[in-house]
Amino acid sequence: MAFETVIGLEVHVELGTKTKIFCNCANEFGAAPNTRVCPVCLGSPGVLPVLNAEALALGIRAALALNCEVRASSKFDRKNYFYPDSPKAYQISQYDEPIGERGYVEIVVGGGVKRIGVTRVHLEEDAGKLNHSPLGDYSLVDLNRVGVPLIEIVSEPDIRTPEEARLYMEEVRSILRYCNVSDCRMEEGSLRCDANISLRPAGQRAFGTKTEIKNMNSFRNVQRGLEYEQRRQAEALAAGGEIRQQTLRWDEASERTILMRSKEDAHDYRYFPEPDLARVELSAEYIAARRAEIPELPADKRERFVRQYGLPAYDASVLTASRALAEYFDAVAALVRDAKSASNWIMGDLLAHLKVTGQEIEQVNMTPQQLAQLIGLIDDGTISTRIAKTVLRDVLEQGKDPRVLIEEQGLAQISDEAALRAIAQRVIEANPKSVEDYRAGKEKALGALVGQMMKETKGKANPQMVNRMIADMIAGD
């Protein structure tokens, strides 16, 4: 029997504020345990939460960027549960009146655009971290992360494949990074993902029984975890078995999902309105101001790159992976004759350089103007593409203008007809065998002669000119 996979994602994103959502402790990753805590973080008796204005602003901006309708009036609620990572034994979250609802994210899949619905976006506080002792006889609690502002983004069950899930995650990350809402580093936990997955016979409307998978802490693991679970469920159903509603954990080491808890252990969170926080009432002006903070988003940029620069869709999608990269490209493309050449250089040598050095585009030692200059020097024949690759490397190392480096190192192409003709004559005389072969119809022999010519000129000869010149000279003999 053929099955259709149905996936919905719950994505948690830590907001890039200076302070926590309900107190003035610094929002910082990686500090020594319990050094970013105050009585509010500790859930000490008598303390009260006060909402961070920036957390609210970033949450609204994110909701708008995810195409949500923003509620003019929303509220916080308490989600009650006992666990050592939750010092108050409740998490301040939003239950039935989230800041944003009914949004969507568009992903590019199978050559087309697919829209994944966003059910809701809400604000909440992060929990602390437990470090389990090696023997499992006790745990240590670090509360630094308590109160870090989060948004939770809940998708509609519109996702049909693990690949779509990964693409959705990547698109969400890209959007939120564009908006400066979060750095979205999965490896640091500032972007996290839980997934619900179920299978149903193709053509059936009703959803099958779902399982929830947690702990998929990279884009790759999101796809792999879901692929594993998809396969597991399909095999179980094909064998006539049933899927049990349960929460699973993706174990990267063993590459399988492990049972955390079954449905019977489901919590009763006893949500109720948080009496310590006033309702959030937003004016139309406030919402408009947040909307104005949203830059051109990746989907629009992709579309524009194709339309404005005539780039292939693939190039557009690579170049818009981050806002800084896209802006870099825009800057180069504005200065060169052919935007595709800008795309080629950025996607090829420049991204390879970033990968090797582990740098971000913002850190790179070459301005868009310098890259444009380099491309211009190829276009006007001053240097060959091969020389340009060396020059690019030197620019990245030294930060000097390409023109200066070419000057300093005497790398400009020799395009002087008379000078080249003299060298060509020498090469022809010194390689009679190759000349013979070429005359006999072996086209490859011409390549050997050109190669000799480039060697003589240390690569500076204009290759097109040399090709034509040698062919003409042998033919003219």
For another protein, the binding residues (CB under 8 A) are 17-19, 24-26, 32-39, 41-56, 75, 78, 80, 82-84, 87-90, 130-132, 136-143, 260-261, 265, 268, 270-273, 275-282
Q: Which is nearer to another protein, 56 or 191 (CB)?
A: 56
* CB 24 to another protein: min, Å: 4
* CB 357 to another protein: min, Å: 32
Element (H, E) at 177: helix 162-178
Q: Which is nearer to another protein, 185 or 270 (CB)?
A: 270
Q: Which is nearer to another protein, 35 or 357 (CB)?
A: 35
* CB 149 to another protein: min, Å: 10
Task: Give residue for tokens 């929990």.
Answer: 127
Q: Which is nearer to another protein, 281 or 472 (CB)?
A: 281
- 233, 280, 225: which is closest to 254 by C-alpha? 225
Q: Which is nearer to another protein, 43 or 189 (CB)?
A: 43
Phi, psi of 9 (to 5 degrees): -115, 145
* CB 77 to another protein: min, Å: 9
* CB 286 to another protein: min, Å: 9
43-55 burial: b if 16+ Cβ within 10 Å, else e: eeeebebebbebb
* CB 114 to another protein: min, Å: 36
Q: Which is nearer to another protein, 281 or 408 (CB)?
A: 281
* CB 35 to another protein: min, Å: 6
Confirm if 103 and 118 have CB atoms less than 8 A apart.
Answer: yes
User: Residue 316: beta bridge partners?
Assistant: none
* CB 73 to another protein: min, Å: 10
Q: Which is nearer to another protein, 43 or 295 (CB)?
A: 43
Look up residue 29 and give its amino acid.
F
* Total count of residues recorded for the chain: 477
CA angle 460, 464, 466 (to 5 degrees): 65
* CB 14 to another protein: min, Å: 14
Q: Which is nearer to another protein, 47 or 414 (CB)?
A: 47
Mapped onto helix, strand or coil, the DSSP state of residue 15 is coil
Q: How far is CA 163 from the centre of its chain?
A: 15
Tokens of 55: 């957390």
Query: How many CA atoms are closer than 13 Å to the CA of 310, on its beta-carbon side?
Result: 5
Mapped onto helix, strand or coil, the DSSP state of residue 81 is coil
Q: Which is nearer to another protein, 83 or 314 (CB)?
A: 83
* CB 65 to another protein: min, Å: 19
| Beta strand 149-155 pairing with 191-201 | unpaired
* CB 233 to another protein: min, Å: 22
Q: Which is nearer to another protein, 121 or 342 (CB)?
A: 121
| DSSP secondary structure string for all residues of 246-310 | EEEEEETTTTEEEEEEEGGG------EE-TTS--EE--HHHHHHHHHT----HHHHHHHHHHHH-
Task: Give residue for tokens 């939460």.
Answer: 49
Q: Which is nearer to another protein, 81 or 104 (CB)?
A: 81
Tokens of 378: 């190829």
Phi, psi of 216 (to 5 degrees): -95, 95
Tokens of 13: 């994103």
Give the C-alpha separation, 368 to 342, whole Å. Answer: 10
At a CB cut-off of 8 Å and minimum separation 6, what does 293 contact? 61, 179
Angle between helices 402-409 and 385-398 (to 10 degrees): 110
* CB 50 to another protein: min, Å: 5
Q: Which is nearer to another protein, 111 or 136 (CB)?
A: 136
Give the C-alpha separation, 262 to 265, whole Å. Answer: 6
